[in-house]
Amino acid sequence: MSDSPVAAQKSPPSDLKDMSDLVSLSKRRGFVFPSSEVYGGINACWDYGPLGIELKRNVKESWWRAMTDREDIEGLDAAILMHPKTWEASGHVAGFVDPLVDCKKCKARFRADKIDPAALQAKKCPECGGELTEPRLFNLMFKTFMGPVEEDAAVVYLRPETAQGIYVNFLNVQQSSRQKIPFGIAQIGKAFRNEITPGNFIFRTREFEQMEMQFFVKPGTDMEWFEKWKEVRIQWHLDNGIRKNKLRFHEHGPKELAHYARAAFDIEYEFPFGWQELEGIHNRTDFDLTRHQQYSGKKLEYFEEESKERFVPYIIETSAGCDRSLLVALVDAYRFDGERTWLAFHPKLAPYKVAIFPLMKKPELTEYTDKVFTDVRRRFRATTDSAGSIGKRYRRQDEIGTPFGVTIDYDTLRDHTVTLRHRDSMVQERVPAENLIQVIEERIQNWGK
């Protein structure tokens, strides 16, 4: 395929420098809107628009297929509200706290662990130099009440992570699916954290979705599985087209490591605001299941037939943010060459794969376009557009990251060929209309090769 237009793609001219460019593109084109905007918005809550929801579904689909199209992982969709004891067992009631400091002058609020230790010691606001309060501990769980009476006994929490729903279902899943260890449970779902310092668009929000997989292994084999999952997970981001030089591992040192964890690595991405966590891979030992045994009084052990051994499995966790992966998809795809803005999504993430245009709004061309559109959309998510000059229509599709444009012109009526335009290289090739779907399939299969 060395002579294919895809192979001829040029390297990108420039990346996203300023998040505000992405925020405005996202709003203008219908990826992400500020939540409750007619009321002036609500801090750090965002709504996904028509293209955003497609992109999000594609991110989730990519994750779900990668994680569950294998024999050793089962899916789960646990409730957001769980028995309140869950959060005592998990340590979230006592320990899910961030120390926070407020500036008495400008009222800015900071996580004490995220500001310069010298400023914290001097109690000096990093923004205005005003005086900071003493650090206070703040529980990040959202509380609500079950039933009509708002009393302590009725307190429940919105889950701050999806993982606990998996742990408490460990035996239900294992026994109903007759899995043998090692095996995993995958789940995608909402989580809520009353973050002190949300921000950077959808990077840190108070309501978000996680894509988590917990892999149950025999103690002693845990580090081997930990290493395997690290590699599988970084490869997933690469397979989504995320550029290799923008991804790295960050190992948690002894100070960062949670008390129960034996090892932890973050996959980090280089955002315009620096390297930040995108996903965590953790060796959680037998901490979670042991705690749930203690708090529930129910055994959460596994019996291994071959060795006749009974043990509490160790857990290797892979915990990715769905919204954060979507943000990475947008940030990584953003290109600007001084004139043209486009999103260089991998086709599997692109909201639309193909856009089909009549060269002009003439009945003989639109009729042909409709036929091609009907055919193509049976195979790919596609759109059509006949408003404005063809150049403008290409640019609109570039901005929403549609990898392929198809134009129907007067030659099409004569010889039944169409123009296939490639978003990244802008190269155009002439393709017989009857081969169009097959050619696009080939181009997608060879993407990036």
The answer to whether 351 and 332 have CB atoms below 8 angstroms apart is no
Closest distance of CB 98 from ligand ATP, Å? 8
Ranges of H-type helices in 10-106: 19-29, 50-68, 85-89, 92-95
CA atoms within 13 A on the CB side of 127: 11
Cβ nearer to ligand ATP, comparing 326 with 406: 326
Among 51-59, 60-68, 79-87, 278-286, the segment contacting ligand ATP (CB under 6 A): 278-286
* Cα dihedral value 179, 183, 184, 185, nearest 10: 10
309-311 vs 302-304, strand pairing mode: antiparallel
According to CB under 6 A, which one of 54, 102, 222, 279 is a site residue for ligand ATP? 279
CB of 162 or CB of 179, closer to ligand ATP: 162
Q: How far is the CB of 123 from ligand ATP (least distance, A)?
A: 24
Q: Is 208 in the site for ligand ATP (CB under 6 A)?
A: yes
Q: Which stretch binds ligand ATP (CB under 6 A): 201-209, 239-247, 285-293, 295-303?
A: 201-209
> DSSP class of residue 112?
G
Give yes or no for residue 277 binding ligand ATP (CB under 6 A). Answer: yes
Contact 279, 252 (CB under 8 A): no
Number of CB atoms found within 10 A of residue 218's CB: 16
The Cβ of residue 437 has, within 10 Å, a number of other Cβ atoms equal to: 16
Residues 329-358 that bind ligand ATP (CB under 6 A): none
Question: Does residue number 324 form part of the binding site for ligand ATP (CB under 6 A)?
Answer: yes
Residue 210 touches ligand ATP, criterion: CB under 6 A: yes
Q: Least distance in Å: CB of 140 to ligand ATP?
A: 9
Helix (H) or strand (E) holding 402: none
Residue 48-87 contact track with ligand ATP, rule CB under 6 A, x = bound: ----------------------------------------
Q: For ligand ATP, which stretch binds (CB under 6 A), given 272-280, 371-379, 408-416, 417-425?
A: 272-280
- x/- contact string, 154-193, with ligand ATP (CB under 6 A)? -------x-------------------------------x
With CA atoms as reference, report the closest residue to 316 among 73, 32, 56.
Answer: 73
For position 204 contacting ligand ATP by CB under 6 A, the verdict is yes
DSSP helix, strand, coil percent of the chain (3-state; round to 5)? 35, 30, 35
Which C-beta is closer to ligand ATP: that of 63 or that of 170?
Answer: 63
Among 323, 332, 385, 424, binds ligand ATP (CB under 6 A): 323
Residue among 55 and 376 whose Cβ is closer to ligand ATP:
55
At CA 180, angle to CA 177 and CA 186, rounded to 5? 60
Question: Looking at 320, 349, 350, 382, which residue binds ligand ATP (CB under 6 A)?
Answer: 320
**What CA–CA distance (Å, rounded) separates 390 from 444?**
24
In angstroms, the CA 440 to CA 160 distance is 42
Q: What is the DSSP letter of 104?
A: T
Stretch that binds ligand ATP, among 47-55, 179-187, 317-325, 411-419 (CB under 6 A): 317-325
Residue among 172, 177, 170, 174 at smallest CA distance from 291:
170
**What pairs with residue 354 in β-bridges?**
382, 404
Residues engaged in binding ligand ATP (CB under 6 A): 161, 193, 195, 204-205, 208, 210, 277-280, 319-321, 323-324
